[in-house]
Structure 1
Amino acid sequence: MEVIKFGGSSLLNASTIQRVGEILISRRKNKKILVLSAMGGMTNELILLGKLACDGDAEYKSVYQSIRDIHLKTLIELSSAKDVSEVEVEMKGLLDELEELCYGIYLLRELSDRSRDELIAFGERLSIPLIVSHLRRCGLLVRRVDARSWIKTDANHGSAHVLTETTKKAIVAGLEDESDSDWEILAMEGFIGMAPDGTTTTLGRGGSDYTAALMAIAVDADHLEKSTDVIGMLTADPRQVPTARIIDEMSYAEAMELCHFGAKIIYPPTIAPLMAAGIPLIVRSTFDGDGNGTRICASPRLAGPVRGISSIGGMSLVTLSGGSMVGVPGFSRRLFIALSFSGVNVVLITQGSSEHSITVAIQENELDVALKALNEEFGSDLELGRIEAFRTEEGLSILALVGDGMDGYTGICGKAFHSLGRNGINIKAIAQGSTERNISVVVANSDVPKALRALHGTFFESDVRRIHLFCMGVGNVGGTLVDFVRDQHKQLLDERNIDLRISGLANSKKMIFDSKGIDLSDWRGALTNADTESTLEGFVERIKDMNLENSAFIDNTASADVAALYESVLRNSVGVVASNKIAAADSYARYVGLRELASRHSTDYRFETNVGAGLPVIDTIHHLVLSGDKVHKIEAVLSGTLNFLFSAFSSEMTFEDSVKGAMDAGYTEPDPRIDLSGVDVQRKILILAREAGFKLEMSDVENVPFLPEQLMKGSVSQFLEALPSIENKMKGKLQDAQAQGKKLRYFATFENGKAKVGLEPLDSNHPFCSLEGSDNVVMLTTDRYSGRPLVVQGAGAGADVTAMGVFADIMRFSESR
């Protein structure tokens, strides 16, 4: 015999009830016991109805009328005109009883637990005739049983306890009744029972599950099936973790742990009696005929150490602490007795081995009651200073990692804490039972979605790293980067298991966001047509509000205002990847501070493209220093723009044409004077010196200008118009160098703690003079590379190579997640 429980989500309206009928017809082979809930949402409506009536609010009549209309409308939709009358009479009779009960509550302004049970039981009592009549019209032989005649309880109205032996005898006797044995389906209400005095009782929230378990045990069913609106038990809440997957099998103990900590698919007390009887529970969707759902049994197949992750919100922490507690027995006992007598349920307990403090997690709505009880119990201890005032924290949630396979499996805690830590999630409290089946952590409510996604990624998607990018600046470099991310997404996912998503894009005018990843097929059009005006503060606030795991802020601007955002971003454990070199070349204190801030918040600050575009210059110096080498001298051509310009500048090409050629090739900033001033190179050599371990400020780098100061003023167009005025001067420099057999190169050096940048004539056979186009070169003289310096050379300017350098930093960030 099969026992199936259909919940309210499966009985939501005429359409879902018809689906129930189709399922039962298709599975007609074995006899079935159906345990039925109220129609979807009806219990909440009945609770509201009672509250309004008790408060003397005449609005209760509107709620009652809505309940009446829903049931009668559903009956009409399920029935034909000729056979609706008999059921309609019964349902209208029940609805009239409900109306009279509510009127009495309204007059008395009183709703006792007994009356409340009577009231909300109408949900199940109304659904039974509605559904049974439909099943009979489908041709099924249905026996109908009033659950109250079988489910016997005590008189604890509101959350009655089932008298299990009496109930089992009543069920067995009822099933053996030969006068009513010709049936395929036996249908009865869930949730309700009868007290010894004959009054209606309810079994508490989720009580229909418990009714179904009692029936399954009484008939020794092969299994109990819970048919609902979800496909089964999932590895996490799919509303928070879209990548959650179905759990094929799990143990009773795992199911109880997950349900206790927020997985609301099953009423937790349902599982214990099924476990004792060895009856499997199957959870599957009413609306997925082909799905197998989740099987909960004694010996499930193992599938990794962690079976699922769940969370429960609305929690508070209460901490009892004091030096007088150390080594003194009785404090814990008094704490728990005080909470127990006040009716406060303790969800989680944690205590340090020092015995200096005990922390418990309780429901937030019970905090005031708990504090009142504890202050009364420990009043004298507080007055005498033996303990400190109770410390409380609110707005918290408990996350639980659950799995039988965790027992004896090393490294689970480490992986979990590393996953949370690298995403900036602060753990308020930790608890783990000796069974090692559950690791629970307390975090802020606002961190729950990110924490769940991070943990799920670690334990169920460890083969895929999901990275969220927020890109500020989509010009030459930024736009090229976005296009590259779009074009490489599938390959990265297939070959490197990296799911790279751009979740935010902004230019100076508009910004767009999508937590699931912006559709990049026409991102330029989407950004142009966006409704949201772009502001720096708004962009950062949106990153914080979205609170996505493994997030990085990508700065491809040359803006000091954007660079000023880095601290705010890093404090939220969002990494920073910047081609913008303003921050790294700011004060030494800020340079160090950004590095330390990133480390403190378990994220990265990466700026490889600050020097040499895509060349691995900073990374090379970093690893030299990390391995114990010492840099003594740096010689470099660090401006692809200036190298291109002075490689082109010759007797055949004027200086003016060389500058315009560099602009046309996209090598210069929109204002070429930024490059020509040497400030950009000054910043670069400063950054390299700092990476080599030297404490330098921008003012310590000597910059010898080669352009007259007056040309550095005014607009870009005025500058270009004035360029011919210095042609003779620049030609003179060129000719002087050529006369000595030398070439002009914009050169940067660092040696003996001093740095300098400027236009220098170098011997024609100097390695730097062989550079062509926009190439950069860095020559490092170190302890290890003294006789033959280490040389890094290659393209040092251009949107493509810079974008690829930024992308390489993003990949390094991804690898660290």
Structure 2
Amino acid sequence: MKVMKFGGTSVGSAANIANVKKIISGVNEPIVVVVSAFKSITDKLLTTSRLAAAGDYSYEREFREIVEQHVTVVCKLDISEPQREKLAVEVNKLLDELSNIFKGVFLINDLSPKTSDKIVSYGERLSTLIISYAFSDYEILDVTQLIKTDCAFGKHTPDMELSNKLIRNAFENSSKKVLVAGFISTCKTTGEITNLGRGGSDYTAAIFASALDANILEIWSDVDGFMSADPKVINNAHVIESLTFTEATELCNFGAKVIYPPTIFPVYHKNIPIRIKNTFKPDAPGTYISHDGETRKSKAMIKGISSISDSCLITVQGLGMVGIIGVNFRIFRALAKNGISVFLVSQASSENSTSIGVRSADANLAVRVLEEEFEKEISLGSINRVLLETELATVAIVGENMKYTPGIAGKLFETLGKSGISVIACAQGASEVNISFVIKNKYLRKALNSIHDSFFLSEYKALNLFIVGIGTVGGNLIEQIRQQQPKLMEQYALKLNVVGIARGRKALFCREGINLDNYKTELDEKGIPSSPEILRDGIINMNIFNAVFVDCTASEPVSQIYGDLMSQNISVVTANKVAASSAYDNYIKLKNTARERNIKFLFETNVGAGLPIINTMNSLINSGDKIVKIEAVLSGTLNFIFNTISKDIPFSKAIYLAKESGYSEPDPRIDLSGMDVVRKLVILTREAGYQVEQADVEKNLFVPQEYFNGTIEEFWANIRQLDSEFEERRKKLESEHKHLRFVAKYEKGKCEVGLQEVGQNHPFYDLEGSNNIIQITTERYNEYPMIIKGYGAGASVTAAGVFSDIISIANIR
């Protein structure tokens, strides 16, 4: 025998009823079909009841909508006209009864629980009646005569022994095709209409399956099955193919609304599997729930993540609780007497505090009853006033495989820590199937995404990038990301999701990701006014997981928001040299923030564009080596100029060619001043482990200060005056087989930059074009220093260096 339950959406229209009929027509064994009220009807019945009880005439409008919804289905149902007329009479009779009840509630302005239960029962009574005409070969059983309930704390619970007996007796003489209304029951003592609560149709189906020893219970709705997380929050959440009963129960108890939690209990003891199916995708496999759930076949450490967003945490605390037997008994007894359900308990090992998680709707009542219970202890000061924390969320990670995998809790809390999310309370049962924790509600989305990503429940690991500056470097970076995205996703399961782009005074944010094929158009058309402060606030308020801020500007104001971003656990990758070369206190504060927050502050491209200079130095130092001397040619622009000067190309023209070739800044005086090299030397020296400021660097410049005054036009007009001087020097060096190099140097606590003449035996002699070179002398590499050499300028190589820093954050192999 098979029991199949169809939800309100599944039977919410004549077309949907026909679809259900097609699904069940393929069943070749005895079958029980349990149906819910039509979609939204239960909610409308409750709303209409409240309006009528309040004396609000608008209840009549709500009731008309209920009538119209059912009449529409009757009119469109695929049955003969005589049958339709007969059905219409029976439906109208039920609707008239319902109308009279509403009128009575309206007149006396009172809605008792008994009346409310009777009103909502009409949803299933109407839907079952209508569906029975479409399923003409099915026998209807009156569920009110089969499922009997007891009442406790205002809630109706089925008497399983009696209900099972009544169901089995009813089926002794029934047909092999039975239709049953879900949700409805009756009190075993009074015979009055009761119900099994929200989602009670699932429960009805499970009770029937258990009583009849069915082969399987199928729950058909409008979802594909249990999801690895809430798909409204996590776009790439996927269907969980199999679960154990325990896993499914844990997920249901913590907010997964796939099935009504009590549904699992009746079939669990009979080992009757449950299959969750989508009525509108009948060929999809859905989720299979059983005792083993094929857990051992799954490699996933956790199966899914569930959450309760409307959580409150209540804490009973006081030194008077330590060593006192029965305190927790009193807590839970007081709550149980008032029908308050607790879904999380966390107790300190010192016994001086117990925290419990409850729904927001129960929070104030829970505080009141606990303060009444401990009134004497509170007045004596042995127990503090009951503490209530609101606007919280409770998250649970669930999976049987957790018990076989060490370090799950460590990985969970590390993941949350990296995202800057503090855990307020946590609980883990000895079975290790569920780890639950409480956080601030505002971090729920971020927490769910971080965990989903970290535990490989997502198809891809995601990095969410905010890119500021889309000029030569930023533009090249975005193009490289666009081209590499398919390869990274295919080979490394890494998705680089650009969620923010800004330039000048415009910014564009999109949590789902910006289309990089036409981002400039989108930025122009949809961008909002921006500034560094607006940018900072926008990124922080997006509250997105695995966030990386990428600065491709040379802006000082932009660099000033790094600290605020990093304090919110947002990593920073920057080609902007301002921050790392700023005041040493600021530099070290950013480094320390990254270390404390377990995030990244990466600026490899600050020196040598795409050359692995800083990473190499860090590796040397981290391995215990000590850098004692640095010598480097760090300006691709200046190296290009001194390599280009010749008999036919004077100094001034070489500067012009550097600008035209894109090696220099639009204003080449920035390069000629040597300040760019000063900043780079400061950064390298700091990364070598020494405290130095820009003012500490001795500058031996080769262009007199007067050439830096005035306009850029005046500079171009006057710079020719130095051509003859440099030509004389060039000729002399040529005869001596030497070259000019602008060298940055650190040694014995001294930093300096300036022109240096190098001979043929010097490693800097053959440095071509705009290349950079750095020679690092350490305690280990002393006699033969380490040399790193290569392209040190150009937008594409700088962008590639930034890209490399981004990839390093993903930690892919």
TM-score over 0.5 (shorter chain): yes
CA contact (8 A) 2:773 2:787 kept: yes
Q: 1:266: how far off?
A: 1.2
Question: Which residue of structure 2 aligns with residue 71 of structure 1?
Answer: 70
1:284-305 deviation line (CA, Å, top 9, x unaligned)? 1111121222221123212134
Match of 1:239 among 232, 250, 253: 232
Q: 1:380: how far off?
A: 3.6
Q: 1:740: how far off?
A: 5.8
Matched, 1:189 2:181: yes
Question: Which residue of structure 2 aligns with residue 288 of structure 1?
Answer: 281
Write the letter of the residue equivalent to 1:658: A
Question: Which residue of structure 2 aligns with residue 46 of structure 1?
Answer: 45
Q: 1:537: how far off?
A: 3.1
Matched, 1:750 2:743: no
CA contact (8 A) 1:9 1:229 kept: yes
Between the aligned partners of 1:792 and 1:123, the Cα distance in structure 2 is: 77
- 1:344-493 matched pairs, under 5 angstroms: 344-461=340-457, 464-493=460-489
- What secondary structure sits across from 1:210 in the alignment? helix
Question: Which residue of structure 2 aligns with residue 784 of structure 1?
Answer: 780
CA contact (8 A) 2:37 2:123 kept: yes
Question: Which residue of structure 2 aligns with residue 132 of structure 1?
Answer: 132
Q: 1:540: how far off?
A: 3.0
Between the aligned partners of 1:372 and 1:672, the Cα distance in structure 2 is: 73
- 1:524-539 matched pairs, under 5 angstroms: 524-539=520-535
* Worse overlay, 207-216 or 412-421: 412-421
Task: Mark the CA change 1:142 to 1:343 in structure 2 (over 3 Å): closer, same or farther.
Answer: closer
Between the aligned partners of 1:165 and 1:301, the Cα distance in structure 2 is: 31
Q: 1:737: how far off?
A: 4.9
Between the aligned partners of 1:155 and 1:330, the Cα distance in structure 2 is: 28
1:217-256 deviation line (CA, Å, top 9, x unaligned)? 2222111111111112222222222222222222211111
Q: 1:799: how far off?
A: 0.7
Match of 2:219 among 226, 233, 246: 226
Between the aligned partners of 2:38 and 2:398, the Cα distance in structure 1 is: 32
Between the aligned partners of 1:600 and 1:710, the Cα distance in structure 2 is: 46
CA contact (8 A) 2:367 2:388 kept: no
Question: Which residue of structure 1 aligns with residue 61 of structure 2?
Answer: 62
- What secondary structure sits across from 1:769 in the alignment? coil
* Worse overlay, 400-409 or 433-442: 400-409
> RMSD value over aligned CA atoms?
2.1
Question: Which residue of structure 2 aligns with residue 570 of structure 1?
Answer: 566
- 1:703-718 matched pairs, under 5 angstroms: 703-718=699-714
1:731-775 deviation line (CA, Å, top 9, x unaligned)? 455456557654322111111112111233333542212111111
Question: Which residue of structure 2 aligns with residue 91 of structure 1?
Answer: 91
Between the aligned partners of 2:482 and 2:84, the Cα distance in structure 1 is: 60
Write the letter of the residue equivalent to 1:65: R
1:109-136 deviation line (CA, Å, top 9, x unaligned)? 1100001101111111111122122233
Task: Mark the CA change 1:651 to 1:257 in structure 2 (over 3 Å): closer, same or farther.
Answer: same
Between the aligned partners of 1:99 and 1:715, the Cα distance in structure 2 is: 87
Question: Which residue of structure 1 aligns with residue 159 of structure 2?
Answer: 163
* Worse overlay, 72-81 or 117-126: 72-81
Write the letter of the residue equivalent to 1:202: N
Task: Mark the CA change 1:636 to 1:43 in structure 2 (over 3 Å): closer, same or farther.
Answer: same
Between the aligned partners of 2:812 and 2:387, the Cα distance in structure 1 is: 37
Task: Mark the CA change 1:65 to 1:689 in structure 2 (over 3 Å): closer, same or farther.
Answer: same
CA contact (8 A) 2:334 2:369 kept: yes
Write the letter of the residue equivalent to 1:292: P
Task: Mark the CA change 1:87 to 1:159 in structure 2 (over 3 Å): closer, same or farther.
Answer: farther
CA contact (8 A) 2:54 2:109 kept: yes
Task: Mark the CA change 1:380 to 1:673 in structure 2 (over 3 Å): closer, same or farther.
Answer: farther
Matched, 1:258 2:245: no
Write the letter of the residue equivalent to 2:42: T
- What secondary structure sits across from 1:813 in the alignment? helix
Question: Which residue of structure 1 aligns with residue 33 of structure 2?
Answer: 34
- What secondary structure sits across from 1:772 in the alignment? coil
Matched, 1:775 2:771: yes
Match of 2:622 among 621, 626, 629: 626
Task: Mark the CA change 1:644 to 1:18 in structure 2 (over 3 Å): closer, same or farther.
Answer: same
Q: 1:464: how far off?
A: 4.2
Q: 1:22: how far off?
A: 1.6
Matched, 1:211 2:210: no
- What secondary structure sits across from 2:148 in the alignment? coil
Between the aligned partners of 1:53 and 1:288, the Cα distance in structure 2 is: 39
Task: Mark the CA change 1:119 to 1:713 in structure 2 (over 3 Å): closer, same or farther.
Answer: farther
* Worse overlay, 496-505 or 325-334: 325-334
TM-score, normalised to structure 2, is 0.95
Matched, 1:153 2:149: yes
Match of 2:793 among 793, 797, 816: 797
- What secondary structure sits across from 2:33 in the alignment? strand
Question: Which residue of structure 2 aligns with residue 699 of structure 1?
Answer: 695
Write the letter of the residue equivalent to 2:754: G
Task: Mark the CA change 1:711 to 1:98 in structure 2 (over 3 Å): closer, same or farther.
Answer: farther
- What secondary structure sits across from 2:10 in the alignment? helix
The aligned length equals 808
Unaligned 5+ runs, structure 2: none
Question: Which residue of structure 1 aligns with residue 657 of structure 2?
Answer: 661
Q: 1:157: how far off?
A: 9.8
- What secondary structure sits across from 2:358 in the alignment? strand
Between the aligned partners of 1:158 and 1:202, the Cα distance in structure 2 is: 12
1:157-212 deviation line (CA, Å, top 9, x unaligned)? 963222223322322232234xxx4x453112111112232321111111111111
Unaligned 5+ runs, structure 1: none
Task: Mark the CA change 1:465 to 1:345 in structure 2 (over 3 Å): closer, same or farther.
Answer: same
- What secondary structure sits across from 2:389 in the alignment? strand
* Worse overlay, 725-734 or 423-432: 725-734
Question: Which residue of structure 2 aligns with residue 118 of structure 1?
Answer: 118
1:682-707 deviation line (CA, Å, top 9, x unaligned)? 11000111011111112111223333
Matched, 1:561 2:557: yes
Write the letter of the residue equivalent to 1:796: G
* Worse overlay, 575-584 or 505-514: 505-514
- What secondary structure sits across from 1:277 in the alignment? coil
Q: 1:450: how far off?
A: 2.3
Task: Mark the CA change 1:778 to 1:148 in structure 2 (over 3 Å): closer, same or farther.
Answer: same
